[in-house]
């Protein structure tokens, strides 16, 4: 079975952690793709669904959490609302909710980012490919 494809939408602070992981040569699953976005509260739920339609097995929304340089602590609440909407859309399409992960990742949280990505890969491996 091929390795699950993971798409990470990384907000500013989380992207710094991902960049740091690369500099440290920290291992994370090979089929992981990272898209840098300014703030996860701006991520439209339809874009998450589009990622599944285009072949990703899982989407990880790595928020800056309360360290968000744009919204501060209100970022978490607004991002959570977007994620809830994405779960509703996923449910309507028969996509398991375990395929969407959201977590706050600070700029120095390299181990958190790498660890969560590895755990997510294991979950996705257990689930198998998305039924399209």
30-82 pLDDT tens trace:
999 999 999 999 999 999 999 999 999 999 999 987 777 777 778 888 999 99
Residue 17: its pLDDT value, please?
92
pTM score, whole prediction: 0.92
Residue 131: its pLDDT value, please?
80
| Statement: residue 99 has pLDDT above 80 | yes
State the Cα–Cα distance between residues 54 and 52, nearest whole angstrom.
5
SS3 16: helix
Paired residues of 76 in beta bridges: none
Helix, strand, coil % in the chain, rounded to nearest 5: 50, 15, 35
Residue 122: its pLDDT value, please?
97
Please report, for residues 8, 35, 37, 40, the alpha-carbon distance to residue 43 in angstroms, rounded to integers and kept in the order given. 12, 11, 8, 5
């Amino acid at each position: 079975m091929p390795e699950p494809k993971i798409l990470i939408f990384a907000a500013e602070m989380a992207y710094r952690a991902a960049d740091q992981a690369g500099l440290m040569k920290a291992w994370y699953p090979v089929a992981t793709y990272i898209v840098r976005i300014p703030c996860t509260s701006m991520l439209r739920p339809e874009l998450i669904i589009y990622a599944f339609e285009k072949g990703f097995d899982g989407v990880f929304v790595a928020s800056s959490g309360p360290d968000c340089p744009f919204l501060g602590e209100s970022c978490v609440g607004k991002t959570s609302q977007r994620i809830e909407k994405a779960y509703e859309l996923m449910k309507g399409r028969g996509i398991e909710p375990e395929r969407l992960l959201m977590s706050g990742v600070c700029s120095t949280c390299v181990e958190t980012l790498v660890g969560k990505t590895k755990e997510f890969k294991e979950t996705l491996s257990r689930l198998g490919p998305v039924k399209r």
